[in-house]
Amino acid sequence: MTTAARTEPRGGGWRLWAFVPLLLLVAVVALFATTGSSVTDLLGRTPPAADEFDIRRVEFERGEIRIRVTNPQPEDLTIAAVTVDDAIVPFTVDGSDTLSRLRSATIVVPYDWVEDEPILVGVTSSTGIETTEEIAAAVATPGPSVSGFLGYAAIGALVGIVPVALGLLWLPSLRRARPEWLAAFMALTAGLLTFLAFDALGEAFELQAALPSALGGAGLVLLGLALSYLTLTFISRRFSSEGAAATGLTLALLVAIGIGLHNFGEGLAIGTSFALGELALGTFLIVGFMIHNVTEGLGIATPAAEERRPVSWRWLVALVLIAGAPTIAGAWLGGYAANDWLGVLFFAAAAGAAFEVVVEVGRYLRDRAPGGLTSGWVLGGFLAGIAVMYATGLLAA
């Protein structure tokens, strides 16, 4: 083609050429859409639709069961019958009975359910296909009340804000620590964050596997991971001078953001599990979370200790809130509107943030640690961070 030989086409015409493939694609799609069935007919009959619903959430209120369903199928799906424990029950649907692709609806069933007993709900499509969901124990779902709202906030503050603030109190001691010990604690932070990243990643993959195939997939995990990793990279470059590793408060801020994202996922998990009666949120567990998250405070305090300027109280409060407050937001979201899709995204984002901060800490240690990245203090600290998490996990098993 003669046009291909031209290195500099005149005017802006070459820009228009960029639209040609798009226009042709539209034309081909339109052509296939109108005559497509004759192409697929060459292959024989397509199998019938699966017609299964995706039961997202089953909530129990006094004298009432609420079933949230989504249509994961390409074709429209109609809710025709609802069963509870293999009995047809009267029901109402908020909105239309017929759900188009990926649309959701809430089915409301007046039902005198029995507390703490297992219950089986089923939703049957107009083609007679029944989708069932078994609930291990029926427990009243906390409704949106002021006390419930405050309760989630209190739990979020207890497991998120308080321990991080306590951990930050190590700041004065760390400021007086020898550089080798500071480097070791920084590496310990990196090890701890690596552990959290793997944990969050595992959680994200587990959750996405349960999603309808149209919504799930490893791609969603990658999206969340890349989104948070690259965003944090961008932020760290904005705050630190060209080419240099993030240090001091900048690094502390990055660690706080990474931990904050992780704590959001943690809050989401706590809120959802509690709301759906899967988790007995006892004193034991809350104390566990508190002790666990004190180490997160240590992770923020260590880079902050390296900051040469005095650290103002405002900065400290900001760091605590960035790292701890997302637990409250996560608990609210999980308690009232949990959504698997969001869960995958946030756990993946938590993993991405943690990995990014590990890289930042690595750059810092490479530049600042006595003996660099390969010193015994750094290697030992990093390994200790992972090993302590793993070993205590074994002991608790």
Partner 1 sequence: MTKFSRKKLIVAAAPLAAAGPLARIALAEPPQRSATHEGHEHTVTGHAAMIGEDAPSIERNAAVDALLTPPRALPHSPGRLREYELVARDVDIEVAKGVTYPAWTYNGTAPGPVIRATEDDLLRVRFRNDGSHPHTIHFHGIHPAHMDGVFEVVPPGGDFVYEFPARPWGMHLYHCHATPLKKHIHKGLYGAFIIDPPKPRKPAQELVMVMNGFDTDGDGGNNFYAVNGPAFYYARYPIRVSRAQTVRIYIANLTEFDLINSFHLHGDFFRYHRTGRDEVVEYTDTVMLAQGERGIIEIDFANTGRFMFHAHQSEFAELGWMGFFDVVE
Q: Write out the residues near partner 1 by the rule CB under 8 A.
A: 56-57, 62-64, 78, 80-81, 83, 86-90, 97, 110-112, 115, 124-130, 199, 202-203, 206-207, 266, 268-270, 272-273, 276, 278-285, 287-289, 291-292, 294-295, 334, 338, 340, 343, 389, 392-393, 395-397
Q: Alpha-carbon distance 316 to 305, whole Å? A: 11
Q: Is the CB of 78 or the CB of 375 nearer to partner 1?
A: 78
Q: Alpha-carbon distance 316 to 297, whole Å? A: 11
Q: Is the CB of 179 or the CB of 393 nearer to partner 1?
A: 393
Q: Is the CB of 34 or the CB of 283 nearer to partner 1?
A: 283
Query: For residue 170, which phi and psi values (nearest 5 degrees)?
Result: -75, -10
Q: Closest approach of Cβ 348 to partner 1, in Å?
A: 13
Q: Is the CB of 100 or the CB of 392 nearer to partner 1?
A: 392
CB-based contact 170:366 (threshold 8 Å): no
Q: Is the CB of 112 or the CB of 242 nearer to partner 1?
A: 112
Q: Closest approach of Cβ 105 to partner 1, in Å?
A: 14
| Secondary structure (H, E, C), 9-75 | CCCCHHHHHCCHHHHHHHHHHHHHHHHHHHHHHCCCCCCCCCCCCEEEEEEEECCEEEEEEECCCCC
Q: Closest approach of Cβ 251 to partner 1, in Å?
A: 24
Q: Is the CB of 294 or the CB of 323 nearer to partner 1?
A: 294
Q: Is the CB of 194 or the CB of 250 nearer to partner 1?
A: 194
Q: Alpha-carbon distance 266 to 302, whole Å? A: 23
Q: Is the CB of 187 or the CB of 294 nearer to partner 1?
A: 294
Q: Closest approach of Cβ 243 to partner 1, in Å?
A: 36
Burial classification of residue 369, based on how many CB atoms lie within 10 Å of its CB (0-12 exposed, 13-18 middle, 19 or more buried): buried
Q: Closest approach of Cβ 255 to partner 1, in Å?
A: 19
Instruction: Count the residues in the chain.
Output: 397
Q: Alpha-carbon distance 79 to 96, whole Å? A: 9
Q: Closest approach of Cβ 292 to partner 1, in Å?
A: 5
CA distances, 46 to each of 12, 43, 133, 166 (Å): 47, 8, 28, 62
Q: Closest approach of Cβ 81 to partner 1, in Å?
A: 6
Q: Closest approach of Cβ 169 to partner 1, in Å?
A: 17
Question: Any residues with CB less than 8 A from the CB of 390 and at least 6 apart, and which?
Answer: 195
Q: Closest approach of Cβ 202 to partner 1, in Å?
A: 7
Q: Is the CB of 5 or the CB of 396 nearer to partner 1?
A: 396
Q: How many CB atoms lie within 10 A of CB 172?
A: 10
Task: Return the half-sphere exposure (C-beta side, CA atoms, 13 A cut-off) of residue 218.
Answer: 1
Strand runs (DSSP E) across 49-192, as ranges?
54-61, 64-70, 77-84, 92-93, 98-99, 104-110, 119-125, 130-135
